[in-house]
Amino acid sequence: MTSNLINIDSRQAWLRLLLIFVMSVLGTAGMWSVVIIMPSIQNEFQLDRAASTYPYVTTMFGYGFGNVIIGRMLDRIGIKKPIIFALSLLIISYLLSTFANNILWLSIIQFFLGFSAAAFFGPMMADISKYFNKRKGLAVSLVASGQHLCGAIWPFIIKDFLIEGDWRNAHLFIALICSIFIPILFYFIGSKSPNSKNNTLVLEKIKNTNSNLKLPISNKRIQTLLMIAGIFCCIAMAMPQVHIVPLSIDSGFGLGVGTEILSFMLFAAVTSRVLFGLLSDKIGPIQTLILGSALQAISLSMFLPFDSQLSLYIVAIFFGLSQGGIVPIYAVIISKFLPAEEVAERVGLLIFATIIGMSLGGWLSGEIHDYTSSYSLAFLNGIFWNIINLIIMVYLFLIYQRAKKFMIIK
């Protein structure tokens, strides 16, 4: 029935994107709340800086597994049941976290919180990519930007809880908001499929998103290279995202300033995701990713000489503008060069790789700080891994250029 279908690139497709975007802003709140509650956890459980990152690390690993498993569910059974399952688990995890009385139990619970929050990121990017062709890069980046907008607004919303050291009530508040609004949004999203019959030409492009131009390496190798690059890129990315609040406290600026800096950085990242999406549609996703990775390396180096509160604000905002759009562009590359029927699962695997990088980067930066009493070496560590990511992406770009030159047609 045509009433159960949405035309590609139509107004209905954009409406679906808007609803998914708002749902992402709500559903991924736990990915950022775990970052800004780190100082409170460190004080409550009497931990060193590295140990205080354990809940973050387990959240990220849960997030990674969730993107793979829920992405696979979405490919096979559609969007409805995976989202209902994920939302239920999300609410239960928030509630259980308030009863955690040690770092071990909190870390275990945060794994499931991350797992369920994943439903509102990678699987949503994969879902919306099926409803767009001309603006696929922009559409995917807009959905992905919901996660960063989430990180930008939630710190302001729950800041008063955290200043009082009341992170448990912050989690209860987030659970309440999600339990009310996500079901309403999901009701309006429904389970309509992309219309394959009314636009045959678009359908062919969706099914074989870039099958006219085949890279002269296997799909498995493309996936593996992207995952390795994603790990290295996110080891670098994790330092400011995970430790900007503790860095602010160490610098004498306080928790409130650190929370604001994180929010400004993520607001900038939202802008970055939109701009990178537009740029990807114009010059290509591989070229866009190379540009973003180069800018990330430059911005990381700018953290080293900062010596004032104002300069930290400025550098953090530039970092957000530089790196915010990177991870969604990895997903655009997958949707462009790999089979469409495997996009959700492959994007899930890619997100899992980036989460490994974020987890390693967050933990490693904490360890470096504990050994050196400074974050300077942690920033240099991030720059090193980011350069390796750049080398891999330049290699893929050269392969892509060779494929264009010799017109390798399927």
pLDDT in tens, 173-182: 999 999 999 9
Weakest mean pLDDT among 104-108, 160-164, 215-219: 160-164
Provide the pLDDT confidence category of residue 241 given band limits of 50, 70 and 90: confident
Residue 237 confidence (pLDDT) above 50? yes
Which residues partner with 193 through β-bridges? 5
pTM: 0.73
Mean pLDDT, range 81-88, rounded to an integer:
90
pLDDT in tens, 373-393: 888 899 999 999 999 999 999
Residue 93 confidence (pLDDT) above 50? yes
Number of other CB atoms surrounding residue 78 within 10 Å: 13
**Whole-number pLDDT of residue 214:** 66
**Whole-number pLDDT of residue 196:** 58
pLDDT in tens, 110-126: 999 999 998 888 788 87
**Whole-number pLDDT of residue 133:** 78
Percent of the chain with pLDDT over 90: 24
Residue 209 confidence (pLDDT) above 60? no
**Whole-number pLDDT of residue 239:** 85
By residue count, the chain amounts to: 410
Whether domain 2-406 has CATH 1.10.510.10: no
> Sign of the CA dihedral 382, 121, 227, 392?
negative
**Whole-number pLDDT of residue 195:** 65
**Whole-number pLDDT of residue 158:** 79
Mean pLDDT, range 309-322, rounded to an integer:
90
Mean pLDDT, range 11-30, rounded to an integer:
88
Give the residue, 51 or 232, on which the prediction is more confident.
Answer: 232
Residue 1 confidence (pLDDT) above 50? no
Task: Delimit the domains of the chain by residue range.
Answer: 2-406
**Whole-number pLDDT of residue 225:** 92
Give the C-alpha separation, 10 to 24, whole Å. 21
pLDDT in tens, 126-150: 788 778 877 777 888 788 888 878 8
> Sign of the CA dihedral 189, 193, 199, 201?
positive
Residue 211 confidence (pLDDT) above 70? no
**Whole-number pLDDT of residue 334:** 84
Give the residue, 188 or 195, on which the prediction is more confident.
Answer: 188
Burial class for 247, CB neighbours closer than 10 Å (0-12, 13-18, 19+): buried
Give the C-alpha separation, 310 to 251, whole Å. 12
Give the pair of three-digit tokens for residue 97: 């976290």
